[in-house]
């Protein structure tokens, strides 16, 4: 019931169609209850006077009732079908939006295949449940509330005899539902594991082939598949017993009613019409129980899926707009870190400690240091890819927490370490971050990112399809496409996180030369392991042990020695330090 109450909350946006659907169901059930009552009275009256005109009048009346009931059922099912599709659409949209608000750490903790299974199969299972939940559940409740009093009015003993069989039906359904509930959770979890395994193997098919792991991976996948088939067969065997058992128990009840009720009619304790009326009501009352097997399975599967979705919805985004946040003045690009101490992933030791730095608008600042020193994390705090402690990171004197995420991130061009391209064309990938992209801007961005010579070699130029995750491009081409994507937005703050690591030094020099004029008008933050990338920066900061261990120009840092000078020696072993 707790899960059902949560699920019903998702129907609130559809109060109007649900209201009409409930009204149609109520009217349809009422007409269905009136029909047997009229028929029983007709049978009794025709035993006294069977005139043809009376037969015709009753037949037309009953036909009208049937037509009205059919029309109401059609309208009800039409409305609830729209509801079913609407719930699926809204649930999937809400889930997608919720996932898009999650930080990178969320996706590191959840497998992509599992998330895809929940966003597709589980959403469909929940939406499919919403229609039967109203039709089967509400119709059953209304039939019981309307029919049982009439049956008691007809004959109390017959009604009690029928109702005596219902507890056995309920206990049977409860027992089998309990047996299937645990199996369903395991089946859906295994489906997620299968999807995750397939997604990982297909995404990394080159690694699988390179290490000749095709047979091993197929064997592992086959093991999961075999387990899935076994669990599904066990579930179906258990659930398949529900309908036959209910049919048998109801059949026993029917036999008792006909045997006992027939005797009452023969002895004249009830009329033939009342006995006919009672048997029709008995059929109406038992029909929902006939379908309880299918509905119980649907309910268990839908609620199991809803619990899996609710697990995701219950995860609050770590980074979100503060309550009452308002639009700030347009970003100019001044970035400040004030006493920044940052703990990553709940570690007790800070990754960044007591860091103070001011980057003026239009200034280019580079960060160098050993692997794992926190350089990339520092830049991700500016774009709020991860959340900084309050009062530690500012843009134009305003805390980044006081900017709407859309305004802050819309002012930043961010090229992360790991380049991701979509399986469209080069032009579509470059224009990805723009609201109203045009070809001239795309061509300009490609030129600035050093893709001009590459485009001449592509058969379709900017319309060349790059393949899934940019598989048709080299590592350097992917990185430059990502740079072009950031430039195309013309951001006030440009963040390049090791964005030229996959290109040769000649191409790197060409790209940096192209960017020099662009960077002069914007704040640029660069992370790189190459001295050649950062040596032209206005300020170079050496990050070591989570602190700024040194800062200055290229020449000043070489002269002072330390980590930067050591990095220079490693990359230029053939010569002495150059103080140029």
Q: Which range of residues forms the domain containing residue 184?
A: 2-313
Q: Which residues partner with 342 through β-bridges?
A: 352
Separation between Cα atoms, residue 569 and residue 398, nearest integer Å? 40
Confidence (pLDDT) at 577: 45
Cβ atoms 422, 428 nearer than 8 A? yes
Confidence (pLDDT) at 290: 59
Confidence (pLDDT) at 357: 92
Confidence (pLDDT) at 578: 47
Work out how many domains the chain is built from and give that number.
2
Same domain as 523, residue 419:
yes
Does residue 579 belong to any structural domain of this protein?
Answer: no
| Top-confidence residue, 549 or 78 | 549
> Contacts from 368-372 at CB under 8 Å and sequence distance 24+?
368/527, 368/528, 368/529, 368/531, 368/534, 368/540, 368/541, 368/542, 368/543, 368/563, 368/564, 368/567, 369/542, 369/543, 369/544, 369/549, 369/563, 370/544, 370/563
SS3 279: helix
Same domain as 473, residue 567:
yes
pTM to 2 decimal places: 0.68
Confidence (pLDDT) at 393: 93
Does residue 327 belong to any structural domain of this protein?
Answer: no
Q: Which two tokens stand for residue 481?
A: 């496409």
Same domain as 290, residue 151:
yes
Crossing angle of helices 156-163 and 242-266, in 10° steps, is: 160
Q: Which two tokens stand for residue 112?
A: 């992509």
**575 pLDDT above the threshold of 60:** no
Cβ atoms 340, 352 nearer than 8 A? yes
Entry field: residues in the chain: 580
Confidence (pLDDT) at 399: 92
Q: Which distant-in-sequence residues (6+ apart) come within 8 Å of 90 by Cβ?
A: 10, 13
Listed residues 313, 343, 371: the one ending a domain:
313
Same domain as 550, residue 414:
yes
Does residue 324 belong to any structural domain of this protein?
Answer: no
Same domain as 352, residue 419:
yes
Separation between Cα atoms, residue 525 and residue 140, nearest integer Å? 65
Strand ranges across the sheet with 493-497: 412-415, 493-497, 523-527, 364-369, 539-544, 547-552
| Top-confidence residue, 185 or 87 | 87
Does residue 318 belong to any structural domain of this protein?
Answer: no
> Residue 289's pLDDT band (boundaries 50, 70, 90)?
low
Confidence (pLDDT) at 493: 92
State which H helix or E strand residue 496 sits in: strand 493-497
Cβ atoms 544, 563 nearer than 8 A? yes
Separation between Cα atoms, residue 43 and residue 274, nearest integer Å? 9
Cβ atoms 341, 355 nearer than 8 A? yes
Confidence (pLDDT) at 477: 85
> Residue 50's pLDDT band (boundaries 50, 70, 90)?
low
CATH code for position 165: 1.20.1560.10
Does residue 522 belong to any structural domain of this protein?
Answer: yes
């Amino acid at each position: 019931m707790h899960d059902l109450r949560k699920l019903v909350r998702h129907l609130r946006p559809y109060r109007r169609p649900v209201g009409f659907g409930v009204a149609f169901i109520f009217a349809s059930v009422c007409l269905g209850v009136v029909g047997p009552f009229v028929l029983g009275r007709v049978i009794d009256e025709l035993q006294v006077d069977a005139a043809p005109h009376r037969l015709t009048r009753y037949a037309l009346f009953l036909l009208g009732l049937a037509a009205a009931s059919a029309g109401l059922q059609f309208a009800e099912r039409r409305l609830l079908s729209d509801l079913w599709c609407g719930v699926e659409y809204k649930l999937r949209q809400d889930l997608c939006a919720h996932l898009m608000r999650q930080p990178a750490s969320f996706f590191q903790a959840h497998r992509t295949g599992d998330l895809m299974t929940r966003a597709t199969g589980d959403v469909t299972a929940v939406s499919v449940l919403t229609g039967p939940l109203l039709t089967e559940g509400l119709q059953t409740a209304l039939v019981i509330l309307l029919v049982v009093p009439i049956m008691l009015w007809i004959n109390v003993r017959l009604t009690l005899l029928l109702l005596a069989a219902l507890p056995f039906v309920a206990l049977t359904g409860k027992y089998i539902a309990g047996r299937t509930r645990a199996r369903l959770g395991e089946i859906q979890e295994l489906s997620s594991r299968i999807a995750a395994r397939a997604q990982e193997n297909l995404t990394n098919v080159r690694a699988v082939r390179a290490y000749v792991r095709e047979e091993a991976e197929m064997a592992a996948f086959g093991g999961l598949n075999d387990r899935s088939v076994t669990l599904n067969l066990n579930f179906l065997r258990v659930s398949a017993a529900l309908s036959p058992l209910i049919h048998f128990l109801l059949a026993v009840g029917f036999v008792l009613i006909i045997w006992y009720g027939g005797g009452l009619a023969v002895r004249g304790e009830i009329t033939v019409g009342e006995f006919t009326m009672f048997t029709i009501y008995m059929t109406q009352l038992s029909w929902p129980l006939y379908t309880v097997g299918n509905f119980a399975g649907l309910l268990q599967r839908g609620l199991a899926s809803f619990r899996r979705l609710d697990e995701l919805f219950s995860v609050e985004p770590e980074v979100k707009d503060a309550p009452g946040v308002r639009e700030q003045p347009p970003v100019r690009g001044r970035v400040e870190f004030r006493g920044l101490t940052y703990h990553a992933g709940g570690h007790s030791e800070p990754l960044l400690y007591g860091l103070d730095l001011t980057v003026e608008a239009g200034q280019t600042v580079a960060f160098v240091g050993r692997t794992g020193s926190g350089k990339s994390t520092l830049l991700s705090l500016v774009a709020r890819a991860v959340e900084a402690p309050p009062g530690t990171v500012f843009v134009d004197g305003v805390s980044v927490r006081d900017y709407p995420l859309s305004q802050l991130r819309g002012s930043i061009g961010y090229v992360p370490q790991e380049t991701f391209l979509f399986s469209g064309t080069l032009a579509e990938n470059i224009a990805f971050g723009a609201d109203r992209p045009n070809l001239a801007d795309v061509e300009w961005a490609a030129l600035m990112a050093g893709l001009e010579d590459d485009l001449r070699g592509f058969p379709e130029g900017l319309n060349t399809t790059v393949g899934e995750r940019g598989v048709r491009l080299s590592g350097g081409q992917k990185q430059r496409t990502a740079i072009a994507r950031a430039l195309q937005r013309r951001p006030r703050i440009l963040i390049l996180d090791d964005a030229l690591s996959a290109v040769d030094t000649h191409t790197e020099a060409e790209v940096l030369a192209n960017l020099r004029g662009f960077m002069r008008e914007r704040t640029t933050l660069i992370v790189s392991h190459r001295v050649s990338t950062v040596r032209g920066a206005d300020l170079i900061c050496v990050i070591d042990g989570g602190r700024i261990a040194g800062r200055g120009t290229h020449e000043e840092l070489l002269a002072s020695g330390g980590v930067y000078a050591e990095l220079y020696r490693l990359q230029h072993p053939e010569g002495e330090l150059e103080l140029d």
